[in-house]
Each structure stands twice: as structure tokens, then as C-alpha cells.
Chain A
């Protein structure tokens, strides 16, 4: 009798495990919002008169993108990523695109993984030179006249890399080279969601090119959603 009960309990336990294993997308989610407090410096209009072919693409002059904000004090262009607790992942083969359009970088911040290919395109009528300034990865500098093929590159070490064009000094962008696939870049209302995290303890880091970085620890035990919010202090300059 006891053996039979034990047998049934054993089968029930196995069935329960099977149910857990097959339940929906595995792992938990860390989501939240990135906002700022205080008053950010006003972004300055960019004078593109030295490059008429770009100036005429903007009905009103564009402003610098060092601090981009959204509704409800949202802070955009923040990379939120898992900096500890997740294993390094091999890179996807899908290339991500970085465009030079209207003498600006689109997107302003491009996030991708170590060894993931990225492609640089020149959609403008003028030459650009693409000059990322890494300190850990190799520094290179290539000219890309209009109509030339996309430049395909990759980086083999994690790093935040400023990108500039020497010909057009107002052009600034960033590459975020990350170790795993758990990352998001905030835009609009400043929300982010990192899904598919197996149970464990993680450090979530938020990085902004001007306001620095902040980290918070979070523990995922199953498939729950944990909320992690970041609030950056705005600088007046």
C-alpha cells in the first residue's frame, strides 16, 4: 500500500516537473523604467551650414543628442543590461545596422554583442569617415563616400565605444558591445524589459553616455517579473 502511494507520488512529482518545464517562455523577466530627476541641460541646435547637403534635410535644425528625454521624465538612449549573473553568449550572426543619415547617426546608440557583425551605411550625399574611439578594442578609421558598400565590422571585447566623424564634428554616437543577449536600449517612455532570465541572482546595470551608470541586484526564482527602476540625476551641463 505504502509503496503504491509512493509510486503515485513519484509519478505526480515527475508530472509536475514536466508541467513546469513546458510552461510558456522559460525564466523570469526584469522590467522597469529609466527616468531622470532635476533639469537636464538644454540640447543645442546643430549648425550644419558647412554641409549644405545635410542641412537641407532638416526643416528645423536638429539638436545634439547627448541627453534625449521622453514623456514623464523618461531618459532615452540608456542601455540596460545584465552585467553579472548571466553566462557570456556567443554572438548572433544577424548584423545590426548603424546609419549615417542627414549627418547624424541612426540610432544614436547601437547595442550589440561581442563578435556580432554590425554594418555601417552612408545614406548621405557627402563622404563620412567612420571613426570609433575604443580604448580596449582596436581603433580603426575608414572613409565611406556616398554610394559605397556598407562597412562590416565587429569587436571582440565588451566596451562602450564613442563614435565620431572627423569631417562632421557634430556627429556623435556610441556602440555598446555587450557580453550576452540580455540588454535593451530605452526610448520614448523609457521602459525596458529583459526576458528569459533563468533563476539566479543578477546585476542589472543602466548606462547613459553622460549621466554615468548605475547597478542594482535582483533575484529571479522562477518565471516572475521583477521591477527594477533607475533614476539618474540630470546634470545642468
Chain B
């Protein structure tokens, strides 16, 4: 009977103690899969591993920043390149976690795979404290990615038409080499010169490696760069056609799309033309 008498008090105190955790769940926490990240450990990790580039205030003005070709991300502005959410919206915790795990290819942001998943979750929680936007806005609604349809030649050809119609070649070039008419004048949002992705070189993308990643890249846009979002103008089923065609532009990267494309005469001719002969600087020439 004594236990029953105290039960309401215990319950009440438990609720009072839990309340701050509920209130701060919006900010100061990150949830990625089964991991919950929190700000305290994240702060320790940030000021050990990250602030040299990203800066004491998280604004991208770290000690190393003046020497970097692509400037470090400014977390205060909260404009992120690699998202699954529409252009202009905040990324999800998973997006930030993925960027930490993968790094950003062809930039100075390394892959932080050496840290544990829990470390990365904690870092995500801390990174979100730099911008006041996370207090007032929620992350964008992730762009729905329908399941990838079967790969067919029609899909690739339709993707080829889209590449022309959407004028991707203006920046990426007809062979996707990053040498389109507008390529040489491109600058990112920090006013630094930037080149479009060179499909023919076949490297991983800035924001991923899979077909799903390509889909998300052009549907969400790469914020902070000239690459816009095409979500307004490409329908989801058409988008997969474009993904399949883009894979055929990666002429040195083996893929089912490239193999299928090369089995046609048109495809084989185009791929043969695309494969680089010689070197861009002439340094490989035998006298």
C-alpha cells in the first residue's frame, strides 16, 4: 500500500525529468536508422576533426579554408549540396550522415568512415546547431523515388532525348565531358569557378555512386552550385530514363546500361568516339 501511495509522485517526477528531453528533441538530436546522435559528444568530435576546415563558428572559415579549391561548407547558411530533399530545403539527418560517411568526391571533404556510426550521428546532431534554420524549419520532404524500372534500350534512348531537351549539354557537353558552351563560365555560390561533372571520366558523383543517387542529384539539385533541380520539369518515370542514359556517358565505368548501349551500333560508335585518346595536356605523348 505504501508503494501505491508514492506511485503518483514517482510518475510525476519522471514526467518532469523527461520533459526537457521531449522539448529538445527537435533540436540537438539526430536520428539515423537505429542511431540517436546528441550534441555533447558531437561537439567534442567537431572540435577535434572538423573545425580546421569548417571553422570555429561552423561558417566554413576554418584555418585551412583559404587554401582549399572548393570552400568548406558553411553550416550557418545551411545550404547543402547532397540532399534527398527539394532545392532550398534542409537535408534530412540521413543526408548529412551519408555525406559524412561518403565524403564529397572531387573535393577536400574526406570520407569519415574511420569514425563509428554513432560518432557520425553525434556529429550530425551538432552540425545542426550552427544554423538557426533548424529551429524554425523542418527538413524538406524527401523526394519520392519510385522503384527503378527494367533497363531497356527504349529507356536509354528516351533518356538521350531528355538530355537534349533539358539542355544538360549546355554545361555537361554533348558527350558529358563537362565541356559544354556554358561550362567555362560557371561559378559556385561562393563565386569560385566550378566545373560540371565529367561523365566520361567515370568518377563517383559528388553525392553518391548508385542509380538512386543520380536520380536524387538532378531532382533535388546540388544547392550552392550551378546544378539546378529538375523536379518541376521531369516526371518520375522519365527521370529513370535519364538515369539510364547518363550511365552510358560514363564510358570508362562498367555498368549494365553501358553494356546494353554498346550492343547497338549507334551506342558502340558513340562510346568509341567518347573514349579519350591522348591526354588533355599532351604529357603522355611519345615522341
Contact = CB atoms under 8 A, between A and B. Distances in A.
Interface of A: 50, 126-127, 129-131, 133, 135, 138-145, 148-149, 151, 166-169
A127 B170 contact: yes
Output the residue of A138, A142, A143, A145 with the most chain B CB within 10 A: A143
Contacts, number: 73
A122 to B, nearest CB: 11
Given A141-B228, A143-B230, A166-B187, 14 more contacts: A129-B226, A129-B228, A130-B228, A133-B189, A135-B77, A139-B223, A140-B229, A141-B221, A141-B223, A141-B225, A143-B166, A143-B229, A166-B228, A167-B182
Interface of B: 77, 79, 87-89, 133, 165-167, 170-171, 181-182, 185-187, 189, 221, 223-233
29 contacts: A127-B166, A131-B226, A131-B228, A133-B189, A135-B77, A138-B89, A138-B133, A139-B79, A139-B223, A139-B224, A140-B88, A141-B221, A141-B223, A141-B225, A141-B226, A141-B228, A141-B229, A142-B87, A142-B229, A143-B166, A143-B229, A144-B232, A144-B233, A145-B166, A151-B232, A166-B171, A167-B170, A167-B226, A169-B182
Nearest to B182: A167
Contacts of B226: 129, 131, 141, 166-167
B103 to A, nearest CB: 22
B182 A142 contact: no
Contacts of A141: 87, 221, 223, 225-229
Contacts of A129: 226, 228
A139 B230 contact: no
Contacts of B89: 138
B77 A140 contact: no
B88 A145 contact: no
B224 A166 contact: no
Contacts of A130: 228
Contacts of A131: 226, 228
A139 B67 CA distance: 25
A99 B169 CA distance: 24
Given A139-B223, A142-B221, A168 B228 contact: no
